[in-house]
Structure 1
Amino acid sequence: MEKGKVLERKVFYAGQKVFGEGDSGDRAYLIQEGSVEISKHGLVLATLNKGELFGEMALVDDQPRMATAKALTDVSVVIIGRDSFREKLAKADPFIRGLLNIFVRNIRNLTR
């Protein structure tokens, strides 16, 4: 983050849904403390912990959320908004941007 920008933080309590499958997505989340479960149709796809990012796919391809994210424990996150994410992506090498789009498309296709 650039100097002077305020980081938006949020706490989700154990059992609280962060977002649901099919929701529109305008932010990603970076876990500072705690654990988050990612699931689709009730099947657990991943358990994420401190330092891991989630919710970014909706920012890459503007598609609805492909899974549900739920706090397993009390979770503290830093929120990465769409504008901030896009600024960082715009600075990336075009090859990396293209690769990221391919990865997101492939992941979505695999989970359909």
Structure 2
Amino acid sequence: MGITDGNKKVMDRQVFATDQVIFREGKPGNSAYVVQEGKVEVFKTLNGEEEVILGTIEAGGLFGELALVDNKPRMASARATERTVLIAINRQTFEKKMAGSDRFIKAILRILLGNYRTVVRRAAVAEAKLKEHGIPLD
């Protein structure tokens, strides 16, 4: 099932079961996702085993967009925490929309996202160290 623009399919509707992984950290990102129904947990894996939850995305939320903007591998993994319906926005559609954007705005967006990736990476490491010492973050 998909969303079309004329005869061309531009977005797919995808269904994920509870605990099903949507994408993995370090893999190429060719789609961003809008949560239509359900919930998605975004997490990083540290030292190959410990998971740090970065956030939960609920209906109406967007995730996975960083890899589309800066063409870098996924910075985190995502999984459904319940039955979840997503609308996938593919790279081709995203790039077509971005092509019409101002170059200055695109450059600023890439810089902001680079900074965001750095902050998230550092925050995940800091949270893991706090947990290691029995200090709750919440």
Q: CA deviation at 1:76?
A: 0.5
Identity within the alignment, %: 43
Distance of aligned partners of 1:11 and 1:2 in 2 relative to their CA distance in 1, 3 Å threshold: closer
Structure 1 residue identity aligned to 2:91: R
Calculate the aligned-residue CA RMSD, in Å.
1.6
Q: CA deviation at 1:93?
A: 2.4
Q: CA deviation at 1:96?
A: 2.2
Structure 1: gaps (5+ residues): none
Residues 13-51 of structure 1: per-residue CA shift (max 9 Å, x gap): 110000111111111111111110001121111100111
TM-score if structure 1 supplies the norm length? Answer: 0.91
Q: Distance in 2 between matches of 1:74 and 1:8?
A: 17
Name which structure has the greater RCO, CA cutoff 8 Å, separation 6+.
1
Residue pairs, 1:17-36, within 5 angstroms: 17-36=21-40
Q: Distance in 1 between matches of 2:29 and 2:13?
A: 17
Q: CA deviation at 1:89?
A: 1.1
TM-score if structure 2 supplies the norm length? Answer: 0.75
SS of corresponding position for 1:99: helix
User: Across the two proteins, how many residue pairs are aligned to each other?
Assistant: 112
Relative to its length, the structure with more helix (as a share) is 2
Q: CA deviation at 1:3?
A: 4.0
Matched, 1:56 2:65: yes
Q: 1:94 maps to which residue?
A: 103
Structure 1 residue identity aligned to 2:71: D
Structure 2: gaps (5+ residues): 46-50, 123-138
